[in-house]
Chains A and B, each alone.
Chain A
């Protein structure tokens, strides 16, 4: 039993990691309806910048994180300007292709020698890791931090989207740019803000990820990005709490499969469950099952 609880805790940590990335992913999707495949790579850039910040330039951790967040916010805004905005009124798939291009660009460009280089870097712990023993379970300070950050991001996003004017603007932009304009919404600015926030969150996620799994390299964003996106879909893409729910489920499924069924089959089973869930809830767990009004 204790063993099982420990596995659940493992799953929780993994799920929270996915949630960290999935939140930003799903927010951007909610506003621009674009699978921003570059999100995972912005996450990577964030991890690198954070690493340089506290491990190479010797900045205090909060400053390093903030720097990474600001830089990635800027990066996100630039990506949107350059690669997505020209395609805003093109078919959706065009922007998706552009996103794949941007993703590849960030990966390959980052692995050039004079950028981050192709090496796998070991990330030193910026603070000592502490383990607490709670009811026979070992909980680390990193796990607690990640938990708090996810919670913080979740609440912040919910407030932002449902309680602020900017959030309302985002929700109208999500539906119809021209109608939003006619309300006085500056669509360009709103989308820029969306990307800035999404990318800043990606950076925050990246740094925490690099602290929890202390190794970074230019292609590190692909898999977590994909898994996080899958989690967002599982929860109902575009829906903020859905991202967290989906991520937590993914984390549990993967961990429990590894632990009790077969580590080889882990991804297969995780995705099989995803497909099954979608068959019963075609728009994800929290997604509105909308009968299109004809």
Chain B
């Protein structure tokens, strides 16, 4: 178990966004969290990466308790979180953004290696290396965010809706990349609206509803669940 979350409760002011959720991620897995808008997926990820402090519950990463560790230290421990809405640095160039991803790494040649790797994965970014990131289109920004996330060579890559706003071709590509990254040994925790695709590449899935986990299992099991098919995959016609 590389990541374990126990009875997590998180509040925004007085709003209880997470109502006690527990789940785990094993080494080498892709685990996906799916759920409607506002279910608490992003909140879960933000709590894991230390941006939010839980009121209740525990988070263990590689056996270490991290629910009170500040975000900048969690990065060093090996969790890289690619946030929802990209959050790239618009006033930095594409290259600088990528280098920021390796902010915690000291070994220059290794960083250079990762950079090459990322630029090969996203040739578009190489073309735009000197452009200010703020003027990239939506999809380009998403690629940049992913690339930046990979630059820290994480043990656990946490992805929040990486396919949002991307063209179908790129969505496919992104999922390819995720699979690829995973095959090369990085564990992935993936939040996706695009439940089809997510379930296709994930080993296991959890379904979140208003701050609770309502279903879990292997991807196949979850995908087979009729309620899930209607609520998240839109396959059964509902009453208008």
On A, residues with C-beta under 8 Å from B are: 165, 168-169, 171-172, 174-176, 178-179, 181-187, 290, 293
Contacts and interface: CB of A to CB of B under 8 A. Distances in A.
B92 A172 contact: yes
Contacts of B196: none
Contact of B76 (A169, A184, A290): A184
Contact of B72 (A168, A187, A290, A293): A187
B92 A171 contact: yes
The secondary structure that dominates the A interface is helix
Contacts of A185: 72, 103
7 contacts: A171-B92, A172-B89, A175-B89, A175-B90, A179-B88, A183-B72, A184-B103
Contacts, number: 66
Interface in B65-112: 70-73, 75-76, 80-81, 83, 87-92, 96, 99-101, 103-104
A185 B100 CA distance: 9
Nearest to B145: A179
B135 interface: yes
B44 interface: no
B119 interface: no
A187 B88 CA distance: 16
Nearest to B80: A182
Contacts of B103: 165, 168-169, 183-185
A172 B100 CA distance: 8
A293 B136 CA distance: 9
Given A168-B99, A168-B100, A184-B103, A179 B89 contact: yes
A215 B61 CA distance: 60
Contacts of B152: 183-184
A185 B89 CA distance: 13
B134 interface: yes
B71 A182 contact: yes
Given A178-B51, A178-B83, A293-B134, A183 B91 contact: no
B47 interface: no
Nearest to A176: B87
Nearest to A181: B71
A179 B72 CA distance: 10
B187 interface: no
B12 to A, nearest CB: 12
Contact of A183 (B51, B90, B101): B101
Interface string B36-76: 00000000000001110000000000000000001111011
Contact of A182 (B49, B90, B92): B49
A175 B132 CA distance: 13
Contacts of A184: 72-73, 75-76, 103-104, 152
Contact of A178 (B87, B99, B135, B148): B87
Contacts of A178: 51, 71, 83, 87
Contacts of A174: 91
Contact of B50 (A171, A181, A290): A181
B30 to A, nearest CB: 20
Nearest to B158: A182
A188 to B, nearest CB: 9
A171 B70 CA distance: 20
Contacts of B99: 168
A271 B186 CA distance: 58
Contact of A168 (B71, B73, B96, B104): B96
A174 B71 CA distance: 17
B10 to A, nearest CB: 15
Most buried by A among B51, B72, B88, B96: B72
The 5 closest A-B CB pairs, nearest first, are A184-B75, A184-B104, A181-B71, A179-B87, A183-B103
